């Protein structure tokens, strides 16, 4: 009997270790790696992935709540080109760019300042960005070809690990990416993708002002805000999300350059559809910035009865 109990206990320990050490993946990797844990199974690796404040979400515009405290954000150091090179890496899930300077963001109802530490992207099928889009967030069910995430941590902590020890440790700025005009500011980064085709490969590029990769600051007054999580395991819930309405523009040929990437080594699955599906909003509210209120339309609605009166008098 004791031997049986010991055997069962050993099996339980082995099973627990297998789950804890499980390899998470995206749905597009399941053919090559049938044993990997796709988004529907991430909670088996990290229990938080089934929490009540998960990201991304579908933003239903008719349900958003206008919040007058959401003024334009203040960007510090975003227009500064640092002296140290940026590290660009294929980490097996995305292209991750580690920043060697710490631009900061504040205001906009954040309550504290956050410093930028890295940015990365999520996409669908680079060769068919219109038909198989890959943004993580969506607006009224509509997705964009790609989504850029700039990850920030509280300015009073040293790294992401320390930031995760607090309930508001991270702030992520999210930008949709649409297929439109060529964006020359992305040329340096995109030209490096050929050199980081496979997992673990990295390169260095000359730094840019972070603002050069984003829409003009005057276009960043309109945004959505909600409390959520990281969109990859460990799915830490303590992320303040800011999703901007104005997208970044890349040309179709620029988007297709992401086709060079693979999830693993040579002959592995091409890196595509590296996004997490939308999560339930549950009882959370998505807030809408004050600058988003369409005042001209509101004024027009107020004028309509007057216009109708004038029109009837004219007849």
- The average pLDDT across 144-168 equals 96
Number of domains in the chain: 2
Query: Is 60 exceeded by the pLDDT of residue 111?
Result: yes
**310 in a domain, yes or no?**
no
**299 in a domain, yes or no?**
no
pLDDT of residue 182: 97
**311 in a domain, yes or no?**
no
pLDDT of residue 291: 62
72: DSSP letter: P
> What is the number of H-type helices and E-type strands within the chain?
5, 14
**315 in a domain, yes or no?**
no
Nearest in space to 25 (alpha carbons), one of 256, 280, 266, 264: 264
CB-based burial, 266-297: b 16+ in 10 Å, e otherwise: eebbbbbbbbbebbebeeeebbbbbbbeeeee
For residue 101, name the pLDDT band (cuts at 50, 70, 90): confident
Is the domain of 275 the same as that of 211?
yes
Nearest in space to 89 (alpha carbons), one of 200, 207, 234, 250: 200
Alpha-carbon dihedral sign for residues 214, 149, 139, 249: positive
CA distances from 234 to 10, 100, 102, 149, 310 (A): 26, 24, 24, 17, 62
Is the domain of 81 the same as that of 40?
no
Other C-beta atoms closer than 10 Å to the C-beta of 54 total 25
Per-residue pLDDT of 161-186, as tens digits, reads 999 999 999 999 999 999 999 999 99
Q: What is the pTM of this model?
A: 0.86
Q: CA-to-CA distance for 136 and 39, rounded, in angstroms?
A: 12
Query: Is 80 exceeded by the pLDDT of residue 6?
Result: no
> Exactly one of 23, 43, 93, 120 is catalytic; which is it?
93
pLDDT of residue 2: 55
Q: What is the dihedral of CA 53, 57, 61, 62, to 10 degrees?
A: -60
pLDDT of residue 9: 43
More confident residue, 305 or 233: 233
Nearest in space to 183 (alpha carbons), one of 212, 158, 154, 149: 212
Is the domain of 175 the same as that of 238?
yes
pLDDT of residue 83: 87
Is the domain of 85 the same as that of 36?
no
Task: Please report, in angstroms and rounded to a whole number, the separation of the first and last CA atoms in the chain.
Answer: 99
User: What does the block give as tokens for 284?
Assistant: 């959370």
Per-residue pLDDT of 34-72, as tens digits, reads 999 999 999 999 999 999 999 999 999 999 999 999 999
Query: Is 60 exceeded by the pLDDT of residue 17?
Result: no
The yes-or-no answer on residue 93 being catalytic is yes
Is the domain of 85 the same as that of 111?
yes
More confident residue, 291 or 54: 54
Domain that holds residue 22: 1-45
Q: What percent of the chain has pLDDT over 90?
A: 82
Mean predicted lDDT score pLDDT of the chain: 89
């Amino acid at each position: 009997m004791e031997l049986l109990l010991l055997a069962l206990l050993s099996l339980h320990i082995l099973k627990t270790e297998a789950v804890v050490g499980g390899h998470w993946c995206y749905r597009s990797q399941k053919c090559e790696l049938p044993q990997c844990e796709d988004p529907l199974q991430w909670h088996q690796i990290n229990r938080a992935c089934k929490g009540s404040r998960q990201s991304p979400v579908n933003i239903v515009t008719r349900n958003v709540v206008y919040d007058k405290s959401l003024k334009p954000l203040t960007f510090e150091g975003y227009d500064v080109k640092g002296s140290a090179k940026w590290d660009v890496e294929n980490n097996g899930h995305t292209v991750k760019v580690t920043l060697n300077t710490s631009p900061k963001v504040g205001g906009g109802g954040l309550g504290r300042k956050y410093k930028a530490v890295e940015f990365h992207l999520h996409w669908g099928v680079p060769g068919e960005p219109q038909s198989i889009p890959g943004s993580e967030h969506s607006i009224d069910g509509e997705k964009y070809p790609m989504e850029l995430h700039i990850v920030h941590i509280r300015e009073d902590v040293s790294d992401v690990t320390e930031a995760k020890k607090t309930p508001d440790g991270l702030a992520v700025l999210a930008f949709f990416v649409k297929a439109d005009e060529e964006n020359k500011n992305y040329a340096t980064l995109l030209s490096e993708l050929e050199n980081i085709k496979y997992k673990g490969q990295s390169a260095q590029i000359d730094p840019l002002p972070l603002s050069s990769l984003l829409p003009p600051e005057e276009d960043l007054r309109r945004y959505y805000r909600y409390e959520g999580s990281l969109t990859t395991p460990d799915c830490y819930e303590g992320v303040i999300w800011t999703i901007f309405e104005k997208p970044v523009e890349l040309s179709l040929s620029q988007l297709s350059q992401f086709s060079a990437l693979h999830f693993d080594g040579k002959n592995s699955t091409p890196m595509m559809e590296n996004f997490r599906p939308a999560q339930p909003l549950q009882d959370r509210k998505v807030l809408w910035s004050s600058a988003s209120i369409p005042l001209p339309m509101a004024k027009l609605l107020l004028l309509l009865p007057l216009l109708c009166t004038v029109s009837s008098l004219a007849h």
